[in-house]
Amino acid sequence: MTAEGLLELADGRRFAGRWLGDPPPSPVVGEVVFNTALTGYQEICTDPSYAGQIVVLTYPLIGSYGAAPAWRESAAPALRGLVVHQAESASHGDAAMELGEFLGAHGVPVLTNVDTRALTRCLRDRGTEVGVLHAGEGPLSDAVRGEAVREFNLVGIVDSVSTPRAYVVDGDGPTVAVVDYGLKTGILDELSRRGFRVVVLPASATAADLRAVAADGVVLSNGPGDPQDLVGRLDLVRQAVAHHPTLGICLGHQLVALAAGGHTFPLKFGHHGSNHPVRDEKTGQVDITSHNHGYAVDGRSLPQGYRVRFTNLNDHTVEGLELEGCPVITVQHHPEAGPGPHDAARVFDEFAAHVHHVREGRTAPHA
């Protein structure tokens, strides 16, 4: 018989369920977000951009193909908890273990038998909220819940998921420096497929650290939290944009906008899913893309020279930028498709072309 558990939102709304595996020994506090992807639950659980969050999966049957090392986006889960409607047993030849077993081994609680439709509608109507997962026999008091919510913050969350020191992924081609704000394995895989030698730098790297790499190109990775928390680290971003072909992904995209003098703002309930239509304003092509972010760039705040390259067709938010006359491109979505469709992988091809053209002297690194 599985134990009963509760997810309580900051405003006191409660959603009951049962624990898959052991209940958490103490209350787990996180930002509650929902993801609409139908598959890719292990990639979601191991995406460092979910650090500090409790993820609600809207697809009702989760776990049917288990978990395996090959499907991870990082070595360990980054989220604080998972909430699902029904946990399925694994039925896949490549599965190494059950999803609950994988998460339990890393101390991530899973609450099942939850009315995730009602929970998602609450988050859509009221916006993203902080929540508390707990194994108590009854609801938390207003005072206890309120204290837990007040103490919760994501300041410093990027450093908690970034590599503590630089490392190299060998390749025979040009050198690309990747700044790890919460790097996904899929990004490294895409760069390796294009032959790059990759030097991964920690999120705390400085502009001087970047210069020391003598890179042919720079990738600013995805990551969790509010981009405004990293405004003290924009010198590296400015160094990249001014002197290298640059690709910004998700948080990296937002940091390029901030470094240029633009602004970001929080979305009501974020974009988390693998089916968001995005239009390339240069070609008119529409890609179906993977998303995981709670903030967006204000296109009206961008300085001269920056233009919106990609647009989200659901809500018309900015999905990417390019800098006129410079080999700089950014995307808010996840072109490595972990999880999601591979439509946007061509962004890596465009970045690779920029790197090779600059290296061969066919294009200047900046205007």
Catalytic residue among 129, 250, 276, 354: 250
Q: How far is CA 25 from CA 10, 29, 82, 107, 153, in A?
A: 20, 13, 16, 10, 21
Phi-psi region of 87 (alpha: psi -120 to 50; beta: other; left: phi over 0): beta
Tokens matching residue 142: 């207003």
Asked if 336 is an active-site residue, the reply is: yes
Query: What is the rounded CA–CA span in Å between residue 71 and residue 322?
Result: 31
Catalytic residue among 31, 43, 190, 336: 336
Catalytic residue among 244, 334, 354, 356: 334
Tokens matching residue 344: 């946007």
Tokens matching residue 309: 């390259």
Residue with tokens 């502009």: 207
Query: What is the rounded CA–CA span in Å between residue 202 and residue 158?
Result: 10
Asked if 250 is an active-site residue, the reply is: yes
Query: What is the rounded CA–CA span in Å between residue 362 and residue 20?
Result: 57
Q: Which long-range contacts (CB under 8 A, 24 or more apart) does 190-196 make?
A: 190/335, 190/336, 190/345, 190/348, 191/219, 191/348, 194/348, 194/349, 194/352, 195/171, 196/171, 196/352, 196/355
Tokens matching residue 11: 């405003």
Asked if 334 is an active-site residue, the reply is: yes
Q: At what angle do helices 234-243 and 251-259 cross, to 10 degrees?
A: 80
Q: Catalytic site residues?
A: 250, 334, 336
